Amino acid sequence: MTTTNPQAPAGEAVPDSPYTVPLAPGVHAYIQPDGGWCLNNAGFVTGAGRTLLIDTAATERRALALREAVLASGAPLPTTVVNTHHHGDHTYGNCVFTPEATVIGHADCRRETIAAGLQLHLAWPTVDYGAVEVTPPTLTFTDALTLHVGDIEVRLLHPGVAHTVGDTIAWLPEQGIVFTGDLVFNGGTPFIMMGSLSGSLRALETLRALGAHTVVPGHGRVTDPGAYDAVESYLRFVEDLARTSHAAGLTPLEAARRADLGEFAALPESERLVANLHRAYVELDGLPLGTPLDLVTVLGDMMVMNGGRPVACHA
C-alpha cells in the first residue's frame, strides 16, 4: 500500500510498511505503521556530512531497515543517536549504530536502560529480536543540551518525569519541528505506567510553549499540535476516573473494567487504561513521581483487560 501523503487525515490510505517523511531540508521522520506495541517512530537530521538519529527500533531487523532508510535518503550513517527515553522499542537498535555513533540521552534514560536490560525479551519472549545488546547513552544531560548538525540546531529538552523518568524532547526551532518521543501517541492510547500522570500533563504544556507546527509523535503518523489536545483529553479522563475510583475504594482493575471509555473506545491498546490508573493511584497516594510499580501486577491486569490474552508485540 502506498500514499503520496503520509500525513493524511484519519481514514485515508497510509503505507503498511515503514516509510520516511521529508519534513524540511535535512530533516526526516521515520514512521512504523501502525504505531502499536513496539512499532515506534524515529527521525534523522543531516547537515555538513553528519547525521543525527533520533531513536532506533525494537529489533535488529527493524534497526537495519532504519539504517537503510537513512542511506537511501542520501544521508551518511549517523554519528550521533539521541534516545527520547529508555524503552526497548526506542533503544534496542542502538547497537546497530554503535560504536560509530555516540548515544545521547537524559541521565535517567541511561540509568533506566541499564536497569531494564533486555526488557522486551521479558515481556515478549517469543519475538525474534535478533542480535541486540543493551547499549545505553554514553553522553548524558540533565536539563537541556543543544546540538548542531551543520546549520540545523537541535535542542534536547527534559520535561521532567512524564512518559518515563528520563524523557527527552528533540526540538528544531528554526524548522518548527518537534520529535516528542512517547509524550505523544497519535491514534493510540497514551501510556504512562513508568512515568507520571501529572508530569505528562505538564510535558504537554512544555510542548505547546515551543510553538512547533510539525509534531513527530513516538507512535503514529506525523501530525500537528492538535495532537496535544487529544492526548490531554485522554489523560484528563484518566485523572477524573482515578480520583473518583480511588475515593470509592476500587482497585485500578475494578475501575478499568467498569469504565465507559466513550470517545476513547476506538483507540488501540485500550488495555493501557488499567496501567495508567495504577500510575494515577500511586500519585493520589502521595508517592514521588515515577515511583516504580509492581510490573507483574500491572502487566497481569493489562492481560485481563485484553480478554485474558497477553498484549501482542508487533515488532
Q: Are 301 and 307 in contact (CB under 8 A)?
A: no
The set of cell numbers assigned to 243 is 480520583
| Residue ranges of E strands in the chain | 19-24, 27-31, 42-47, 50-54, 80-82, 102-106, 139-141, 144-149, 152-157, 169-172, 177-185, 214-219
Cell matching residue 265: 473506545
pLDDT score recorded for residue 13: 52
Tell the residue number behind the cell numbers 529480536, with chain if given.
Answer: 129
Which sign does the torsion angle of CA 234, 279, 30, 124 carry? negative
Predicted TM-score of the model (pTM): 0.94
Q: Which residues sit opposite 243 in a β-bridge?
A: none
SS3 call for 118? coil
Give pLDDT, residue 16: 86
**Cβ density class 12-51: b for 16+ within 10 Å, e for less:** eebeeebbbbebeebbbbbbbbebbbbbbbbbbbbbeebb
Sort strands 214-219 and 102-106 into parallel, antiparallel or unpaired. unpaired
Buried b (16+ CB within 10 A) or exposed e, 104-115: bbbebbbbbbee
CA distance readout (Å), 172 to 57, 63, 294: 22, 24, 37
| Closest alpha carbon to 44 in 228, 185, 226, 216 | 216
Contact 86, 181 (CB under 8 A): no
Bridge partners (DSSP) of residue 80 are 52, 102
Nearest to 39 by CA among 231, 219, 306: 219
> Digits of tens for pLDDT over the chain (315 positions)?
223 334 443 444 556 899 999 999 999 999 999 999 999 999 999 999 999 999 999 999 999 999 999 999 999 999 999 999 999 999 999 999 999 999 999 999 999 999 999 999 999 999 999 999 999 999 999 999 999 999 999 999 999 999 999 999 999 999 999 999 999 999 999 999 999 999 999 999 999 999 999 999 999 999 999 999 999 999 999 999 999 999 999 999 999 999 999 999 999 999 999 999 999 999 999 999 999 999 999 999 999 999 999 999 999
Alpha-carbon span 53 to 252, nearest angstrom: 38
